[in-house]
Structure 1
């Protein structure tokens, strides 16, 4: 979170270039957010799950924060509490939401469940420890004696920005590491293309977080507020594109695995059927051979009987003679 109270005084000391820049940043943020909302609702078949809701909440909070920042820097609202509340609520949801979007698809590439659970707890703890006190200090700046709170808030805002960026960098490094391990396996060209896209996405996130940190510590508050929302909207669009592709690749691989298992089962069933047919043929041949043997024995018995009758008849003729 940045020092949002000093933005108005800084804006009064500059010409029209900065207001035009903040207006452009805000308009681009709105455009990216609306486009992403349409993509989310048209892409998802079921409107449920952590991935879906983290995207929706993060997009809406980005719009809320960008609107509050623009109103603050251009003195749009007559009551300063309106834009301040918009920025505070937007930032409290936007920063942890960005990490939740990354976390929600991490299990597709990492089989280390202990690591995945640890990242979830890290997101929850940092959201409570950093966002709650920063928001309270920001609201306390509007008391009768805001000086002490303003200095404390400025230090807390830098701390929150640093740790939140570290959190996203850590998750991005986990993605890159797990992708590197997965690429050692012999995947097809489509899988490898998606993995390079995943690596490029996380490198882009690292660069954007670094840029925001530099602007925070240089105290470039005149453009940092609206620029931060624009960066978040771009990061969300890239994450949505790459992570959705990762889901499709994962589903394709599971379907390929199921097809392979079905093929093996069919092959096994075919082998069993062939064995059954072969056994039936062998049994038929044995019965045929046995039948032929019985016929031969029967013929021998008939020949023996005929021969015996013939000999008996000859003896009777000899006796009569």
Structure 2
């Protein structure tokens, strides 16, 4: 089956430019993403003592069924190594799993610091609603831009790519913001202020700030029209964000274990996982 051409290089097929820097950086970043995803799978099984729960499964599925298919799909597409339907299917499915999985990872650790069930239910509802309303049109746009040779589909793809990336950016900002606020409240609730507690607080803030900075960088690239760079960095950044999640879990567990005289019904559950 033939496919269309696009005014934006990389949307419907291989990279057609002659820049070795673009080719090398694309291959390197996607290769790093694949390696990091495989490493993350091993790390998840090493860090977690019990293999169940939303936190465990969202991390594992995001890496194995999200990052890996997305990276493989982009490699096959940009270097024209397979029929176009193969990379489009892999990258589209991988992106859907990866972005929703990342949000579920962020959500699944909220119960450690948020006791209000209404807040948790609202955030979960937001994730489910956005995954349906944002990703179904994205899937249609991805196949339409490739196989329906009409300018409107490519235009719709370009517009919807920006819309859904912005929505998912806002979603992660909201979830990370709630986590940061509640973590600061929890840390300040302890009567003694130790250097260890302060260090952990700043580490958590730095990790969440790094996640937000990566999302901002992707948005800037998207709105500037650097499609290939944005998609490649997006795949790589999500492996970094998933690894940072392991660091968040470790920091919270360290905090709880260093204060055995204190108790929090949410944080005490960390000892069952790490």
Same fold per TM (> 0.5)?
A: yes
User: How do 1:283-294 and structure 2 match up within 5 A?
Assistant: none
Using the alignment, how far apart are the partners of 1:180 and 1:247 within structure 2?
Answer: 15
Using the alignment, how far apart are the partners of 2:258 and 2:167 within structure 1?
Answer: 37
Aligned-pair RMSD on alpha carbons? Answer: 2.1
Per the alignment, residue 292 of structure 1 pairs with none
Per the alignment, residue 75 of structure 2 pairs with 70
User: How do 1:30-179 and structure 2 match up within 5 A?
Assistant: 30-60=34-64, 61-77=66-82, 79-179=83-183
Question: TM-score if structure 2 supplies the norm length?
Answer: 0.86
Per the alignment, residue 215 of structure 2 pairs with 209
CA contact (8 A) 1:66 1:225 kept: no
Using the alignment, how far apart are the partners of 2:231 and 2:242 within structure 1?
Answer: 17
Bigger radius of gyration = 1
For residue 145 of structure 1, give the secondary structure of its aligned residue in structure 2: coil
Q: List, as ranges, runs of 4+ consecutive aligned residues in structure 1 with deviation greater than 6 Å.
A: none
For residue 75 of structure 1, give the secondary structure of its aligned residue in structure 2: coil
Using the alignment, how far apart are the partners of 2:93 and 2:182 within structure 1?
Answer: 34
Using the alignment, how far apart are the partners of 1:232 and 1:92 within structure 2?
Answer: 12
Gaps of 5+ in 2: 1-5, 264-274
Per the alignment, residue 232 of structure 1 pairs with 238
Per the alignment, residue 193 of structure 1 pairs with 199
Shift in Å, 1:184: 2.3
Higher relative contact order (CA 8 A, sep 6+): 2
Shift in Å, 1:48: 0.6
CA contact (8 A) 1:51 1:105 kept: yes
Gaps of 5+ in 1: 259-321
What are the superposed Cα offsets for residues 105-159 of structure 1, whole Å, 9 maximum, x if unpaired? 1111122222122111111110011011111121122334342211112111110
CA contact (8 A) 2:9 2:16 kept: no
Using the alignment, how far apart are the partners of 2:235 and 2:133 within structure 1?
Answer: 22
Task: Say which structure is richer in helix.
Answer: 1
Using the alignment, how far apart are the partners of 1:241 and 1:98 within structure 2?
Answer: 15
Using the alignment, how far apart are the partners of 1:179 and 1:4 within structure 2?
Answer: 46
Using the alignment, how far apart are the partners of 2:73 and 2:59 within structure 1?
Answer: 20
CA contact (8 A) 1:201 1:238 kept: yes
Structure 1 pair 135–251 and aligned structure 2 pair: CA distance change class (3 A): farther
Structure 1 pair 103–163 and aligned structure 2 pair: CA distance change class (3 A): same
CA contact (8 A) 2:14 2:77 kept: no
Per the alignment, residue 220 of structure 1 pairs with 226
For residue 48 of structure 1, give the secondary structure of its aligned residue in structure 2: coil
Aligned residues: 254
What are the superposed Cα offsets for residues 36-75 of structure 1, whole Å, 9 maximum, x if unpaired? 1111111112211000000011112111101111211111
CA contact (8 A) 1:10 1:222 kept: no
Structure 1 pair 171–15 and aligned structure 2 pair: CA distance change class (3 A): same
User: How do 1:285-304 and structure 2 match up within 5 A?
Assistant: none
